[in-house]
Amino acid sequence: MAPTPAYALIATDLDGTLLRRDDTVSDRSLAALARVARAGARHLVVTGRPAPRVRPLLAGLGCGGLAVCGQGAQVYDAASGRLLWSVRLDRELAETALGKIEAEVGQVYAAVDQDGVDGLTLIEPGYRMPHPTLPAVRVGRREDLWRAPISKVLLRHATLSDDALAALARAAVGSLATVTMSGPGTVELQPCGVTKATGLALAAERLGIAPGRALAFGDMPNDIPMLDWAGHGVAMANAHPELKAVADEVTSSNEDDGIAVVLERLFPTD
């Protein structure tokens, strides 16, 4: 009988973690994930990207099961093409939160991810997408951002660093929303209390896997709740210092197959 793997669930962020700069996954990482699957463990993508922006990547990875999207606001089932769980950010609260932030830092530029499996990413004038490969629809006025239910708001500032904007936004909005930073140029507002850990916990419960049997990989502060929840948390070499401070170990960068380095050690060749 084959030995039971130490970890039954491998949770990976995408940008800056599993994906390389060109949005591809290396052959070595794909081989390591295949090794995980042969050992009987599950791979679960846990990403800030909304479900519509994740579907093509899941197909390329051969992931036909669950994925946690939208910073934990969505649990998506790739097999059925539907959301099993979704939390919306109240649009009036979002607009109020933006007003409070701008009262502290001056003008910010905003975008939103609409809720649903076919939701669009809308960007107001002046907002620049941090990932130019991701599709977005430019609207004429901020009011147009609120025309349909949303899962989160994305913010940029002309001069403030991401760390400074996130800290000031967090102080300004209080309990109106959860503020997180998920990558360069990506400060986000999401429903209060929603994190990658809340979405991952729901998906893991559905799969019957306890936190102690989960291994999580990430690179940015939005991954901190996920690494705290998992039995073992791994930060990439390119990770933000805040994430490295809470990780159980630091691996190589996303460009140097950091996920594969760990998985090859923990899942011996079959």
Model-wide pTM > 0.85: yes
With bands split at pLDDT 50, 70 and 90, how would you rate the model's confidence at 3?
A: low
Please count the CA atoms within 13 angstroms of the CA of 129 that sit on its side-chain side. 14
With bands split at pLDDT 50, 70 and 90, how would you rate the model's confidence at 252?
A: very high
pLDDT of residue 270: 58
Neighbours of 102 (CB within 10 A): 16
Neighbours of 83 (CB within 10 A): 19
Please count the CA atoms within 13 angstroms of the CA of 73 that sit on its side-chain side. 29
Mean pLDDT value across residues 152-169? 96
**Is the pLDDT score of 97 beyond 50?**
yes
Mean pLDDT value across residues 133-152? 94
pLDDT of residue 4: 65
Mean pLDDT of the chain: 94
pLDDT tens, position by position, 29-75? 999 999 999 999 999 999 999 999 998 888 888 888 999 999 999 99
- Say which DSSP state 117 is in: T
pLDDT of residue 131: 80
With bands split at pLDDT 50, 70 and 90, how would you rate the model's confidence at 1?
A: very low
Nearest-angstrom CA–CA distance, 16 and 188: 17
Mean pLDDT value across residues 208-215? 97
How is 4-70 classified by DSSP, letter by letter?
Answer: PPS-SEEEE-TBTTTB-TTS---HHHHHHHHHHHHTT-EEEEE-SS-HHHHHHHHHHHT--SEEEEG
- Please tell me which of 57-66, 128-137, 149-158, 177-186 the model is most confident about, judged by mean pLDDT: 149-158
**Weakest mean pLDDT among 21-35, 51-65, 160-174, 186-200:** 51-65
What percent of the chain is predicted at pLDDT more than 90?
88
